[in-house]
Amino acid sequence: MNKDNINLIDTHSHIDMIQNISIEDVITNAQKNGVNKIILPCAYPADIDKIADIVQKFENVYAYLGVHPSEARDWNDSLLEKIENIILSNKKIVGIGEIGLDYYWDKSFNDIQKDVFIKQIKLANKLQMPVNIHDRDAHKDTFDILQENNDGSTVIMHCFSGSVEFARECSKAGYYIALGGVVTFKNAIKMKEVAKDIPLECLLLETDAPYLTPVPHRGQENQPAYVRFVAEEIASLRGMSLPELAQATTENAERIFKF
């Protein structure tokens, strides 16, 4: 039990990629800081089996399965069946992710990214599971594809990086918006505005560990325990207490993932 009894959930954390500490220590540190559940996203097709194993081993770790847009050229359609079969036999997989569009690193295969994105949205719809969305420099296409293709899956905009206007568009569409360490950066004016503006019932917390480490640990490797700093910053921006913010965001996550 943590010292002040808060209950947080890190809804997107690559704990399998943290190098400086073991997964056991990652989980212990998280619990000491009130972070009681962690959701591990899948990026690479080659990691699907490993991630399915990790969630069986650690009680408070859950996962999304999917292929990241940057890896879309490694997609093949047999992955649909593979992911579906694992999900049907593994109750700790709580969504499809991370899926979406990334035009930041490489724009040369946008069409493949879109195709792989749509196929995975359809899989989530078939399995009635949430989608955890990666959108980098692709807000319009990501939103349009979701609006056109998604039939009933809860949408979570992971590591939201858009404007206040885009956040409003997303929340109006019923999407959840997950914020991470960037909101603690001094120069992240736009993200602080988003954190203040979005309806509380749309808000989720995440770290995207080992990346995007929040202040005051910026520059070090990120870990789920640090979602607490994200929560503290957003609570202070919104004029709420940390326990209030923790409770509201945790209830949102529990409503989506039913855990």
Q: Which is nearer to Ni ion, 71 or 208 (CB)?
A: 208
Q: Classify burial at 84, counting beta carbons within 10 Å of its beta carbon; exposed 0-12, middle 13-18, buried 19 or more.
A: middle
The answer to whether 83 and 41 are in contact (CB under 8 A) is no
Minimal distance, residue 96 CB to Ni ion, in Å: 14
CB of 41 to Ni ion, least distance (A): 5
**Within positions 35 to 94, which residues make up the interface with Ni ion, using CB under 5 A?**
none
By beta carbon distance, the residue nearest Ni ion is: 208
Provide, rounded to whole angstroms, the least separation between the CB of residue 43 and Ni ion. 7
Least Å distance, CB 143 to Ni ion, is 19
Burial class of residue 155 (count of CB atoms within 10 Å of its CB; 0-12, 13-18, 19+):
buried
Alpha helices (H) along the chain:
23-32, 48-57, 78-89, 110-127, 139-149, 164-172, 189-197, 227-238, 242-257
Residue 99 Cβ, how far from Ni ion at the closest point, in Å? 11
* Interface of this chain with Ni ion, residues 170 to 229, rule: CB under 5 A: 208
In the complex with Ni ion, the residue whose CB is nearer, 106 or 165, is 106
Q: Which is nearer to Ni ion, 40 or 235 (CB)?
A: 40
How many residues sit close enough to Ni ion to count as binding (CB under 5 A)?
1
Nearer to Ni ion, 135 or 208 (CB): 208
Of 9 and 235, nearer to Ni ion (C-beta) is: 9
Distances in whole angstroms, Cα of residue 41 to Cα of each of 83, 86, 96, 236:
13, 14, 8, 28
Of the pair 102, 208, the CB lying nearest Ni ion is at 208
Please give the C-alpha separations between residue 59 and each of 18, 63, 64, 131, 248, in angstroms, as whole numbers.
Answer: 18, 12, 15, 22, 23
* Shortest Å distance, C-beta 14 to Ni ion: 6
Torsion angle in degrees (nearest 10) through CA of 214, 113, 126, 49: -60
Binding-site ranges for Ni ion (CB under 5 A): 208
